[in-house]
Structure 1
Amino acid sequence: MVAGETSGDLLAGLLLDGLKARWPALVSSGIGGPQMARRGFQAWWPSDKLAVRGYVEVLRHYREIIGIREQLKKRLLDRADQRPDVFIGVDAPDFNLDLEAALKAEGIKTVHFVSPSVWAWRADRVEKIRRSVDHVLCIFPFEPALLASHGIAATYVGHPLANVIPVAPDRAAARRQLGLRDEDTVIAILPGSRKSEIQYLATRFFRAAALVKRAQAAIKFVVPAVPALKAWIERLADEAGVRADLQIVEGQSHTVLAACDVTLIASGTATMEAALFKRPMVIAYNMNWLSWQIMRRKKLQPWVGLPNILCQDFVVPELLQEAATPEALAHALLQWVDAKTAAPDKIAAVEQRFTKLHAELQRDTSQLATDAIQKILEG
């Protein structure tokens, strides 16, 4: 298996639960993180080696990433008696699809878990997916039909997190765990799990928090930080002059999302988690200018945030690139905060949309995924 970054590690860990239940003697290895390691996965390289987003950012790490892929490919193919029965690439399509193509050409069964978002951007990737994988495990219900129209076998397995995150999260319990009061107004700040995201987003998120604090001094801010990046995030908070106003915790992103009233959040997988927690949010993103110019030309839909894409509507605001100023972010956050008392029906409408979305994504993911993988192995 290969999983890149924190979100891939989380999804792969949940998938491993199902795989080990189906095949108790399972041996799994490759590239992964702590969630996978807890399930007995052997990580030859840590998943954060692949946690890079954006064209320019990838170029800076290109030689190292390609080197890892070539070493992994050699390790998987060199000894015929040690080749895996199946390779599962978890997200990270820029890394995994080329690797999967090479392994498939050598007769190794290949599965890709989490369909690349060809319906949102980079539709040209469809041909590469067809060449590279025997089967795609999809987390969104409309994807298998789309892939089938291009000759790609796929199964809808539901979103694993929809089974982990409760339909009605316990806000009070989460607040007790974080030392917050029921009556507090709490904003969660999630500037991402990659170094490149922290670099481009954390400071503007923290400056937005300072503006919100100036407007409403009683508001509490909680920041769940990837353990390896926590010290850096604390330094950036110091530099922004808001360290004393932030409760920075190690990990615990689900507890923080359960506890908050609204979240300021980096566009990506975490927005899907926030939607499953039924939380209003302000989605933001900023990246290298050149990477943004390339990516925006490949965009196929007016939305970037996953909750908005799935709802086919701007259910929550998106502030991207030049629009993601501290002033604009603070204004959008305060609108949600004010809606708690001035327009509770606005909050309720978001919760209803996300509750419906949660139901659509709930399936027996472990059973469906392992059934599909077993069929592939039986060939």
Structure 2
Amino acid sequence: MRNPPRVAMVAGETSGDLLAGLLLDGLQAQWPGLKGQGIGGPQMERRGFDAWWPSERLAVHGYSMEVLRRLKGILRIRKQLRERLLHEPPDVFIGVDAPDFNLGLETDLRAAGVKTVHFVCPSIWAWRADRVDKIRRAADHVLCIFPFEPELLAQHGIAATYVGHPLANVIPMVPDRAAARAQLGLRDEDEVLAILPGSRSAEVAYIASPFFQAAALVRKARPAIKLIVPAVPLLRERIVQLAHASGLGDGVQIVAGQSHAVLAACDATLIASGTATLEAALFKRPMVIGYHMHPLSWWLMRRKQLQPWVGLPNILCRDFVVPELIQDAATPQALCAATLEWLEARTRQPEKITALEQRFTVLHESLRRDTSRLAADAIQKLLAA
């Protein structure tokens, strides 16, 4: 075994890049000088990762036309990456999330004798239970971010380790609301609604307008409210256009990135389903989860859904602790009404806010582990076997 080992990785999208960057911290503590190569984003590159392709090239949304338009290019990248890794095999390949891309690649590499790790168990407990067989073929080991997953995988003969959720360590148990507001130019006494319409272009295309229309209705009911949107830099111009088209004009503050500061600063958030909802829960913020996708994508997803919840906070709490308005239910009027309930509860039902914060604190504690070290230890043991 080389010291450090040669590590290849693939991370798709912004959330995968963040998780992979934290994993690299642990690997580099275990093996100083380790860099990694493959597909990654800015968080990984900051740790010296050699990104042959940027992770944003893998970002897709849903099943149908929005995927088909980009499928040819994604398959070409996977073919080229597979050939390169088979020609010069790494000591270990780590697929970070992006199961549609990574599981097939892992299967081929594992068949060729490469040790394979999948970081983030696909949500077989929520939908697409058929992926279990694919995971068994693809991964020598799975790194799980939720505590119940290793036992579930063990029932199917898949080795796994619970490493905690990296975001639970990044986000403080008690967020500094005042500091976040100062950073964003907001006053302590301001009432603040955060709007997070997603980090992918297709998400923004489907849900941003209903969110902004709902925010305009909220502002009519509460004229003094401050509206703030953390935008992925590449999507900022499009988000500005959609906000103006929805009648918000200059009444919304759109910032580049800074989603954690925005969540720490807000009183409530209107948020697209995805990893960001877990971030909002870790910041202990009331939220309304909304989502909309291509009708065919929605039909296919509904057929494979195993639980009544869509949002991660509700799935992990196993209860509708925050409202979910999905697909046809995600109308501006319904989104506005649900948001106003949270805002009004701060003065009329403070116990409702307190109860939510307590649920999210328990959730935060259950996810808090030394993720970088635990993940690196599991990989070290796999390589030593």
Query: Which structure 2 residues correspond to residues 298-309 of structure 1 after superposition, within 5 A?
Result: 298-309=304-315
Query: Which structure 2 residues correspond to residues 203-218 of structure 1 after superposition, within 5 A?
Result: 203-218=209-224
Which of 324, 334, 338 in structure 2 is aligned with 1:328? Answer: 334
Query: Which structure 2 residues correspond to residues 32-43 of structure 1 after superposition, within 5 A?
Result: 32-43=40-51
**TM-score (ref. length: structure 2):** 0.97
What is the CA–CA distance in structure 2 between the aligned matches of 1:155 and 1:39, rounded to whole Å? 24
CA RMSD of superposed structures (Å) = 0.7
In structure 1, the partner of 2:158 is 152
Tell me if the contact between 2:121 and 2:142 (Cα under 8 Å) persists in the aligned partners: yes
In structure 1, the partner of 2:4 is none
What is the CA–CA distance in structure 1 between the aligned matches of 2:174 and 2:311, rounded to whole Å? 22
Match status 1:69 vs 2:93: no
In structure 1, the partner of 2:250 is 244
What is the CA–CA distance in structure 1 between the aligned matches of 2:47 and 2:249, rounded to whole Å? 36
Match status 1:28 vs 2:30: no
Tell me if the contact between 2:230 and 2:258 (Cα under 8 Å) persists in the aligned partners: yes
Which of 130, 135, 141 in structure 2 is aligned with 1:129? Answer: 135
**Where do 5+ consecutive residues of structure 2 fail to align?**
1-8
**Where do 5+ consecutive residues of structure 1 fail to align?**
none
Q: Calculate percent identity across the aligned residue pairs.
A: 72
Which of 290, 300, 303 in structure 1 is aligned with 2:296? Answer: 290
**TM-score (ref. length: structure 1):** 0.98
In structure 2, the partner of 1:105 is 111
What is the CA–CA distance in structure 2 between the aligned matches of 1:50 and 1:322, rounded to whole Å? 27
What is the CA–CA distance in structure 1 between the aligned matches of 2:249 and 2:293, rounded to whole Å? 24
Secondary structure, in 3 states, of the residue corresponding to 1:115?
A: coil
Tell me if the contact between 2:35 and 2:47 (Cα under 8 Å) persists in the aligned partners: no
In structure 2, the partner of 1:363 is 369
Match status 1:13 vs 2:13: no
- Which amino acid is 1:29 matched to? Q
- Which amino acid is 2:121 matched to? S
Secondary structure, in 3 states, of the residue corresponding to 1:243?
A: coil
Secondary structure, in 3 states, of the residue corresponding to 2:250?
A: helix
- Shift of the 261–71 alpha-carbon distance from structure 1 to 2, 3 Å rule, reads same
Which of 60, 76, 100 in structure 1 is aligned with 2:69? Answer: 60
Deviation digits for residues 332-367 of structure 1 (CA, Å, limit 9, x no counterpart): 000000000000000001100000000000111111
State the shift of 1:240 in Å: 1.4
* Higher mean C-alpha displacement, 56-65 vs 135-144: 56-65
In structure 2, the partner of 1:49 is 57
What is the CA–CA distance in structure 1 between the aligned matches of 2:202 and 2:235, rounded to whole Å? 11
Secondary structure, in 3 states, of the residue corresponding to 1:368?
A: helix
State the shift of 1:129 in Å: 0.2
State the shift of 1:27 in Å: 2.6
Which of 118, 121, 145 in structure 2 is aligned with 1:139? Answer: 145
Match status 1:377 vs 2:383: yes
Runs of 4+ in 1 over 6 A off after TM superposition: none
Deviation digits for residues 227-262 of structure 1 (CA, Å, limit 9, x no counterpart): 111111111112112131111000000000000011
